[in-house]
Structures are given as structure tokens and as C-alpha cells.
Structure 1
Amino acid sequence: MSRGSRGRRIALAAGALLAAGSVAATDAPAPAYAEGAKAFQANCAVCHGAAGAGIPSLAPPLLSYPARYAASAEGRRQLAMTVLNGLYGEITVEGKHYDFRMPSFSTLDDATLAAVLNFVVFDLAHAAGDTKPLTGEEIAAERAHPLDGAAVREHRKSLVPAGD
């Protein structure tokens, strides 16, 4: 094989790899709630992971139960309570135990918190199409009744089956 032929093959292979990488990067769909995704990455990903898969023993995954919560009025309240007030104490999610202290994110405005929850509910947990997005008004209604993280955990017990 001549030096020129080998160089062309290397250049073609490198070009193909670059093209494949750029196609793969652009094939990923943008999150429906981009503002919420940005705030999630800045505030939540450190514990829940960038893709919401959780970190064993530290923070639970956000890939299923938020969608179930968003389908009921009390579940929606729980989501709002959790981001506003934090949650601490022992919980079980998908059969795994967590004993952590999630901080309050009440310094974020209502619209931003709703956007974060919508990112989690729709982009990470893939809620059903008939689930309504959470609103800033729902967040504001819960903000009017501050709780501590232990009270949020107690409210959660009324929503989940034993062991989950």
C-alpha cells in the first residue's frame, strides 16, 4: 500500500468517525422542558445524577415515581412540597432504602421549580400524554404552607404502597 493511499484511508476513516459522532450527538432529542433541564443540572444532578438515575444510598432515581405522582392531586402536592421544603429521613424507592437529607430549593422561583418538576416528570420519568404539566401556581400554593423535610416525608407515606 502506498503512503498516499494509506493517508487517504486514514483521513476517510477519521472523517467517518467524526461524522458518526456528530450524528449521534445531534440524534438525541432535546428535552421538552429545556429550562427545567438546565435548572435540574445546576441544582439536582449532583445527588440524583445527570440522567436522574440516582446515586445508591444517597438519592433515589427519578425515572418512574414522579410520573405516577404527577397523575394525582396529592402526588402533585408531594412533588411541590419536596422541592420547596426538602425531604429527610428514611424512604424506600423501588425496593431500595435511602436515608438522606434533600435540601429545600425554595430560593428558586415558582416558575423555575415547576419547570424542573416538568423536566423530571416528562423528560426523565416519561409521564403519560394525558398528564398535565405542573404550574407555578401549584408551587405557589404549597409555598404558602411551609413544612420541614420530616413532615414532607410523612406526607409521602400516604402516597406510596408499603415498601416503595
Structure 2
Amino acid sequence: MAKAGIAFLLTMLVATGALADDVALFTKTCGACHGKGGVGIPGMAPPLAGAEWAKAGKPDSRLYVPEIILNGLSGKLTAAGRTYQGIMPAQKQRKDEEIATLANYVLAKLNSAPADFKPLTATEVEALRAKKVDHKTLLGTRSQLVQ
């Protein structure tokens, strides 16, 4: 099978969740801070399930999650009526497929994805990896998403 065919197959497997058990990957990668099922841990990390930034269904929310996974996030933010001041470390060491799986899980399973939701692909994550986004910009994106 040609490289392009293999890449397409992997992309489809990730998009459908067949490559990795998304719940297990989330629990292993994110659960210690964000809690089982992404409900958050007060004083440590905000909830990802039912997130305010996802409720608006704005297009920017689709890229917001993988950008945070890749670049981390620090600073003050409010979620579910609580204020958080913490640091999420960047996860650049993760494979593009893993980041796509995690982002799709947060976007489509922990939140109500819009009907026209297009799952992120490893190729899109690879492109985002080259884009440098600082924490101030990510906090600004978050603020716009919750307005």
C-alpha cells in the first residue's frame, strides 16, 4: 500500500476512534488532572465535559483543544463558576494521532459537537504543530468562545 494510502487509513481509523480506545487514552493522559470523564477537579483543573467554550459551537473551538494539547496553557481562567490558576504542560511529545484522538474525544464525546462536526485528523494536528501559539493567545481564544 502506498504511503498516501496508509496515511489515509490511519487518519480514518483515528477519526472513527478505531485506532485507540479514546476513553482509555483520555483517562491515562488527562484523567489525573481533569478527572474521570473530564468533570474537572476543583482547585486543580477545569472540567472539559460540558465546557462553556464548546457550548457556543463556534468554529474556533475545533482547533482550540488540539492547540492547548500541543502548547499547554497557563494563567487564570474561569470554568463552571470556579476560577483556576494553573499550568497544563504542553504535550508535544504525543503523536499526532493521539492528539487527534484526544481532541475528538473532548470535542465530540465530552461535549455536544455540532451536527456538521468534522473530526480532527493527524494531518491537521501536524499542521497545528508547526504553528506557535502562546498562552495569552489561547486564553484570548477561550474568552471569545465563551462570549
Q: Which residue of 1 aligns with 2:13?
A: none
* 2:78 counterpart of 1:73: no
The structure-2 alpha-carbon separation of the partners of 1:159 and 1:128, relative to structure 1 and needing over 3 Å to count, comes to closer
- Whether contact under 8 Å (1:36, 1:117) holds in the other structure is no
Residues 98-129 of structure 1 show CA distances to partners (whole Å, capped at 9, x for unaligned) of: 11101111111111101011112222224244
Residues 125-149 of structure 1 show CA distances to partners (whole Å, capped at 9, x for unaligned) of: 2424432212212212211112333
Instruction: Letter of the 2:76 partner, please give it.
Output: E
- Whether contact under 8 Å (2:33, 2:41) holds in the other structure is yes
* 2:90 counterpart of 1:104: yes
Of stretches 118-127 and 92-101 in structure 1, the one that deviates more from structure 2 is: 118-127
Unpaired stretches in structure 2, ≥5 consecutive residues:
1-15
Of stretches 117-126 and 39-48 in structure 1, the one that deviates more from structure 2 is: 117-126
The structure-2 alpha-carbon separation of the partners of 1:72 and 1:134, relative to structure 1 and needing over 3 Å to count, comes to farther
Give 1:113-152 correspondences, 5 Å limit. 113-152=99-138
Number of matched pairs: 129
Give 1:4-23 correspondences, 5 Å limit. none
Query: 1:48: Cα distance to partner?
Result: 0.3
Greater Rg by CA? 1
Distance across 2 between alignment mates of 1:108 and 1:137: 14
- Whether contact under 8 Å (1:55, 1:61) holds in the other structure is yes
- Whether contact under 8 Å (1:35, 1:112) holds in the other structure is no
Residues 4-62 of structure 1 show CA distances to partners (whole Å, capped at 9, x for unaligned) of: xxxxxxxxxxxxxxxxxxxxxxxxxxxx7453222211110000012110001211111
TM-score (norm 1): 0.68
Query: 1:83: Cα distance to partner?
Result: 0.5
The structure-2 alpha-carbon separation of the partners of 1:146 and 1:35, relative to structure 1 and needing over 3 Å to count, comes to farther
Percent identity over the alignment is 35
TM-score (norm 2): 0.75
- Whether contact under 8 Å (1:68, 1:75) holds in the other structure is no
* 2:22 counterpart of 1:36: yes
Instruction: Letter of the 1:121 partner, please give it.
Output: L
Q: Which residue of 1 aligns with 2:73?
A: 87
CA-based RMSD of the aligned residues comes to: 2.1
The structure-2 alpha-carbon separation of the partners of 1:82 and 1:141, relative to structure 1 and needing over 3 Å to count, comes to same
What SS class does the counterpart of residue 90 from structure 1 fall into? strand
Query: 1:67: Cα distance to partner?
Result: 4.2
